[in-house]
Amino acid sequence: MRRSSRHADRSLGAALLSLLYPSACPVCNNPSDTLRHAPLCRVCWESITKYEGPSCARCAAPLVSEYAAECGECLQRPPPFTGVLNFGLYAGALSEAIHLLKFSGVRRLARPLGAFLTELTPPAAAGIVPVPVSGRTLRERGFNQTLLLSRVLSRAAGVPVMMDLLIKKRETPPQIGLNARERAANLRDSFAVRGKLHKQRLVLLDDVMTTGATVRECAKTLIKAGAGEVTVVTLARSPLT
Ligand SMILES: [Zn+2]
Ligand SMILES: [Zn+2]
């Protein structure tokens, strides 16, 4: 009796879910089977794991060899941040989920994605600074995904979100197709700090880190404004190309 009512609950839940989210999982095409991270199915969601392979000690770029401590980019151009704590690789179900959050407006994915960040252990900090988007992007998208992720980490770590500290002053052309030097030039002086900082240690949070041009520019801007130290926290790091 008990079992059958539980079964009835489940099928009612599934029916309700298919009404609300008639979509298939974008990774494997099976029907979505849970509200928590729909439209991604359970199997695909559970395929998202923390990257534990060799990575640069400074910027967390995945490395081919475990014998190299730092990547060529960090050796040539030491970054302004102290280190990067990254969760996974920007591939498979994780990249699909971030894409859905960012470009398809599936806001509810911020909570389960943000939960991955709570598996990282950032140093004690005065605040979490979300990488900002420009006013135009904010109007078009309706939210800043790094702010949503920051709130999840903030609640878990008991560190406040410094929401309006760092702003993006102007819209910059997309970084796609640009090399590292062009990316840096594209972003130069596009961020600003509101107010003064007094040697605080900050956590800078971004969703995806590709070449690192964005977090480099943000960290540089924060340190120029008086921050003592910046540690970057990211959800996904692009695999080496
Ligand atoms: Zn799936
Ligand atoms: Zn590096």
Q: Please, which residues have CB within 8 angstroms of residue 220's CB and are 6 or more apart in sequence?
A: 80
pLDDT band for 19, please (50, 70, 90 cuts): low
Average pLDDT, the chain: 90
Q: What is the mean pLDDT of the segment spanning 77-94? A: 96
**Do 41 and 52 fall within a single domain?**
no
DSSP one-letter string for 75-144: HHS--SSSEEEEEEESSHHHHHHHHHHHHS--GGGHHHHHHHHTTS-PPP-SEEEEPP--HHHHHHHSS-
Q: Which ligand is nearest to the CA of 61?
A: 2
Enumerate the β-bridge partners of residue 59: none
Q: In percent, how much of the chain has pLDDT > 70?
A: 90
What confidence tens digit (pLDDT) does each residue in 189-234 have?
A: 999 999 889 999 999 999 999 989 999 999 999 999 999 999 999 9
Question: What is the residue range of 225's domain?
Answer: 48-237
**Do 16 and 104 fall within a single domain?**
no
The burial of 173, by beta-carbon neighbours within 10 Å (0-12 exposed, 13-18 middle, 19 or more buried), is given as exposed
**Do 74 and 169 fall within a single domain?**
yes
**Do 24 and 74 fall within a single domain?**
no
pLDDT of residue 187 exceeding 90: yes
Q: Which ligand is nearest to the CA of 83?
A: 2
**Do 97 and 140 fall within a single domain?**
yes
User: Measuring CA to CA, which residue among 109, 114, 168 is closest to residue 138?
Assistant: 168
CB 92 within 8 Å of CB 47: yes
Q: What is the mean pLDDT of the segment spanning 164-189? A: 89
CA of 21 to the centre of ligand 1 (A): 14
CA of 238 to the centre of ligand 1 (A): 21
- b/e sequence 122-135, b meaning 16+ C-beta within 10 Å: beebbbbbbbbbbe
User: Measuring CA to CA, which residue among 12, 16, 41 is closest to residue 26?
Assistant: 41
**Do 60 and 139 fall within a single domain?**
yes
pLDDT of residue 105 exceeding 70: yes
**Which pTM value belongs to this model?**
0.89
Q: What are phi and psi of 182, to 5 degrees?
A: -65, -35
CA of 12 to the centre of ligand 1 (A): 21
- Domain final position from 28, 46, 64: 46
Q: Which ligand is nearest to the CA of 68?
A: 2
pLDDT band for 177, please (50, 70, 90 cuts): confident
Give residue 180's pLDDT. 80
Amino acid at 39: P
CB-proximal residues (5 Å) to ion ligand 2:
56, 58-59, 61, 71, 74
User: Measuring CA to CA, which residue among 157, 56, 145 is closest to residue 104?
Assistant: 145
User: Measuring CA to CA, which residue among 149, 148, 188 is closest to residue 170?
Assistant: 188
Q: What is the mean pLDDT of the segment spanning 104-116? A: 95
Q: In percent, how much of the chain has pLDDT > 90?
A: 72
What confidence tens digit (pLDDT) does each residue in 52-81 have?
A: 999 999 999 998 887 779 999 899 999 999
The alpha carbon dihedral of 150, 153, 155, 158 has a sign of negative
Number of domains in the chain: 2
**Do 71 and 120 fall within a single domain?**
yes
